[in-house]
Amino acid sequence: MSEENKNIRSYPWGHERRFNAYSNYFRNIYGARVQKVSIDAGFTCPNRDGSKGSGGCTYCNNDAFNPSYCQPAKSVSDQIGEGIEFHKWRYSEAVSYLAYFQAFSNTYAPIDRLKALYEEALNYPGVIGLIIGTRPDCIDDEKLAYLKKLSEKNYIAVEYGIESCYNKTLLRINRGHTFEEAESAVRKTAALGINTGAHFIFGLPGESREEMLEQAGIISSLPLKTVKFHQLQIIKGTAMEKEFLSKPSDFKLFSWEEYLEFFITFIERMNPSIVIERFTGEAPLRFLTGEGWGKKRTDQIVSLIEKRMEELDTWQGRLYKDKR
Ligand code: SF4
């Protein structure tokens, strides 16, 4: 691209990065960096405790994604305090925090328990909001009405694990819900003005590259504020590890080079108004079957993707067709 074109290009998200980036999204709202602090509040999950299923999703091992300061034996306040200390030395400029209820299904409890936990977090000095990770089948009208009320004075986001837009995949990975249930939860939440996010995994067994790419159109048509994407990683000790070891040909595990090209093709088709929070997952190597991407960190992959987008002169939504 010529220097002249570089100067005149402006993206709908209002900054120069080639995708609608989560960190810039918060800078636009609050004028400063906002840091998430993870919490394990001791929830479980209906796909593990027998009410919906048992054994959980075939890839699930929450330990692989939980920061070390998150331990349900500690109070919410203690975890936030330790989380803030943990992040302080890395990001000295963070001034506000979001309490991220991360482990398992964080709306899977009676409303009174949720209120006590969420309000303890919101009362912690410096915490300006909540991000609540949950399943689409763990929300109801009463909980949504409460979250809507909280959202009048705080930043509130509900982040649904959807993982795939295909029911054949959701069945195979034992999610215990359909895509239609996920879509309904997303639409209900967004209709109340609550920030609505979703999480997806690329490389799940049985999905072709074309099917994965097709999801860009489906995801783009949902009223989502944010999305997170992960490449599939096979975590030790999971049901998926057994499946993978017995039939590796059923899996398409991306090398980081393949993922980079795939991901750019994917986000070219994505709705530019959806903020992208994550490009990749980063489970510690000790949890992985195989070598994964070695020591490549998420921020390095993001830089490589952005560099490649620059070379290709492309951006999120370049090929997006609004079909809503
Ligand atoms: S819904 Fe989440 S916590 Fe529950 S089994 Fe699946 S991945 Fe694990």
The answer, yes or no, to whether any atom of ligand 1 lies below 6 A from the CB of 99, is no
At residue 7, does pLDDT exceed 60? no
Q: From ligand 1's centre to the CA of 242, what distance in Å?
A: 18
At residue 72, does pLDDT exceed 80? no
Name the pairing type of β-strands 155-163 and 127-134: parallel
Q: From ligand 1's centre to the CA of 47, what distance in Å?
A: 6
- Give the mean pLDDT of 71-100: 85
Residue type at position 13: W
Query: What pLDDT sits at residue 276?
Result: 97
Category of 80 on φ-ψ map: left (φ > 0), alpha (ψ -120 to 50) or beta: alpha
- Give the mean pLDDT of 176-202: 98
In the chain, the percentage of residues whose pLDDT exceeds 70 is 93
**pLDDT tens-digit map of 134-146:** 999 999 999 999 9
Query: What pLDDT sits at residue 259?
Result: 95
pLDDT band at residue 8 using 50, 70 and 90 as cut-offs: very low
Residue nearest to atom 8 of ligand 1 (CA): 60
- Give the mean pLDDT of 187-193: 98
Query: What pLDDT sits at residue 324?
Result: 67
**pLDDT tens-digit map of 115-127:** 999 999 999 999 9
At residue 94, does pLDDT exceed 80? no
**pLDDT tens-digit map of 236-252:** 989 999 999 999 888 88
Residue nearest to atom 6 of ligand 1 (CA): 57
In the chain, the percentage of residues whose pLDDT exceeds 90 is 72
Q: From ligand 1's centre to the CA of 176, what distance in Å?
A: 10
The answer, yes or no, to whether any atom of ligand 1 lies below 6 A from the CB of 87, is no
The answer, yes or no, to whether any atom of ligand 1 lies below 6 A from the CB of 48, is yes
**pLDDT tens-digit map of 145-181:** 999 999 999 999 999 999 999 999 999 999 999 999 9
- Give the mean pLDDT of 298-320: 94
Query: What pLDDT sits at residue 31?
Result: 86
Measured between alpha carbons, how far is 179 from 165 in angstroms, rounded to an integer? 6
Query: What pLDDT sits at residue 86?
Result: 87
Residue nearest to atom 5 of ligand 1 (CA): 56
138 DSSP 8-state letter: S
Q: From ligand 1's centre to the CA of 241, what distance in Å?
A: 16
At residue 131, does pLDDT exceed 70? yes
pLDDT band at residue 68 using 50, 70 and 90 as cut-offs: low
The answer, yes or no, to whether any atom of ligand 1 lies below 6 A from the CB of 57, is yes
Residue nearest to atom 4 of ligand 1 (CA): 45
Query: What pLDDT sits at residue 63?
Result: 60
Instruction: Tell me the DSSP string of 216-241.
Output: HHHHHTS--SEEEEEE---BTTSHHH
Query: What pLDDT sits at residue 66?
Result: 56
134 closest CA partner among 120, 117, 149? 117
Secondary structure, 3-state, the chain? CCHHHHHHCCCCCCCCCCCCEHHHHHHHHHCCCEEEEEECCCCCCCCCECCCCECCCCCCCHHHCCCCCCCCCCCHHHHHHHHHHHHHCCCCCCCEEEEEECCCCCCCCCHHHHHHHHHHHHCCCCEEEEEEEECCCCCCHHHHHHHHHHHCCCEEEEEEEEECCCHHHHHHCCCCCCHHHHHHHHHHHHHCCCEEEEEEEECCCCCCHHHHHHHHHHHHCCCCCEEEEEECCCECCCHHHHHHHHCHHHCCCCCHHHHHHHHHHHHHCCCCCCEEEECCCCCCHHHECCCCCCCCCHHHHHHHHHHHHHHHCCCCCCCCCCCC
pLDDT band at residue 287 using 50, 70 and 90 as cut-offs: confident
In sign, the C-alpha dihedral spanning 167, 173, 177, 179 is negative
pLDDT, mean over the chain: 90
Query: What pLDDT sits at residue 73?
Result: 77
Between 142 and 294, the more confident residue is: 142
Query: What pLDDT sits at residue 156?
Result: 98
pLDDT band at residue 62 using 50, 70 and 90 as cut-offs: low
Between 69 and 223, the more confident residue is: 223
Angle at 186 between CA 277 and CA 206, to 5 degrees: 75
- Give the mean pLDDT of 94-112: 93
In the block, tokens 């949890």 appear at 287
Residue nearest to atom 3 of ligand 1 (CA): 104
Measured between alpha carbons, how far is 303 from 322 in angstroms, rounded to an integer? 28
The answer, yes or no, to whether any atom of ligand 1 lies below 6 A from the CB of 56, is yes
59 closest CA partner among 236, 238, 251, 254? 238
